[in-house]
Amino acid sequence: LAVEEPKYFWNFPNGGVQFEDTFPFLGIGSDTENVENNGQLSYFGDPVFLGSGGSGAVFSFSPKSASGGSDSDMNGKVAIKVSWKRSRSTVEKECQILRTLEKSGVPYVEKCIGPPNEYRFEDGRVIIALSPVVESPRGITSSIQYVDSGNAQQIAAKCVVETMVGMLRANIITLDVQPLIEMNSGQVLFIDFTEARNIFEGSDGSADAAGIVGFCSEMMALIPESLRDFTISYLKERVESVEM
């Protein structure tokens, strides 16, 4: 693919990020990890910086046609994460983890919707495409206590429980829990799985008991005291339904 002159620039301590006016991504919606073996090319534009961390910088993009106009065939915005040079393998692994969670049916977790692509403006870096981009008229929070009281808070608590149980069933844990919670509805999306890992990843093949306890503690710490009894009761229901 020909590389256009970049139009958008950001500078970060770990490296710069730049994009063309119309930004191509190969393999959206593909199940294969081999970018070269699938020719589905999607285009995006109008980048908005969302945040940066130890593994890379994240931007939201709107779907575009190859000529730069809006693409009515694609629904919603897409988040693009650009790795730093030192975190390439971490971001590639994050995409693999997210695809494992999706295939296992784990709810309320962002999806990696295409194979990693090479970052076109610097060798040794990679980009991944993530969905959905959460937008809420009332705003986003990471704390259930700031969600509208009543049913919305209970919905958020249920989302936390269902994600926790689903991840454990998929043998995936993380000690860096990052929820985005819609303040009006209580709907939750968990993002940034760069610290996630398989519980059997250790050299001896045994389950990481301490990691499991830490993960569950982090998830339950999201629940305010006023919802503890409700959440524990719902957790028992979910565990019993899994065991049946």
Which of 4-18, 59-73, 94-108, 160-174 bottoms out in mean pLDDT, i.e. has the lowest?
Answer: 59-73
CA distances from residue 78 to 32, 36, 175 in whole angstroms, order as listed: 19, 21, 25
pLDDT recorded at residue 201:
83
Whether 10 contacts 17, CB under 8 Å: yes
pLDDT of residue 6: 85
Over 70: is that where the pLDDT of 56 sits?
yes
| Burial per residue of 140-153, b for 16 or more beta-carbon CB atoms within 10 angstroms, e otherwise | ebeebeebeeeebb
Count other C-beta atoms under 10 Å from residue 26's C-beta.
Answer: 18
Sorted by sequence, the CB contacts under 8 Å of residue 33 that are 6+ apart come out as 96, 115, 116
| Percent of the chain residues topping a pLDDT of 90 | 77
Residue with the larger pLDDT of the pair 38 and 149 = 149
Tokens of 36: 């070269």
Mean of pLDDT over the chain: 90
44 within 8 A of 114, measured Cβ to Cβ: no
pLDDT of residue 112: 97
Length of the chain: 244
CB 163 within 8 A of CB 179: no
- Residue 72: the pLDDT is 45
Q: Tokens for 109?
A: 């977790």
Angle, in degrees to the nearest 10, between helices 209-220 and 151-169: 170
- 131 vs 129: CA distance, rounded Å: 7
pLDDT beyond 50 at 106:
yes
pLDDT tens per residue, range 177-208: 999 999 999 999 999 999 999 999 876 778 89
d(CA 67, CA 118): 22
The yes-or-no verdict on residue 75 having pLDDT over 70 is: no
pTM beyond cutoff 0.85: yes
Per-residue b or e along 160-191, where b marks 16 or more CB atoms closer than 10 Å to that residue's CB: bbbbbbbbbebbbbbeebbbbbbbeebbbbbb
Summarize the confidence of residues 98-117 as an average pLDDT: 97
Per DSSP, 113 falls in state -
Other C-beta atoms within 10 Å of 224: how many?
A: 16
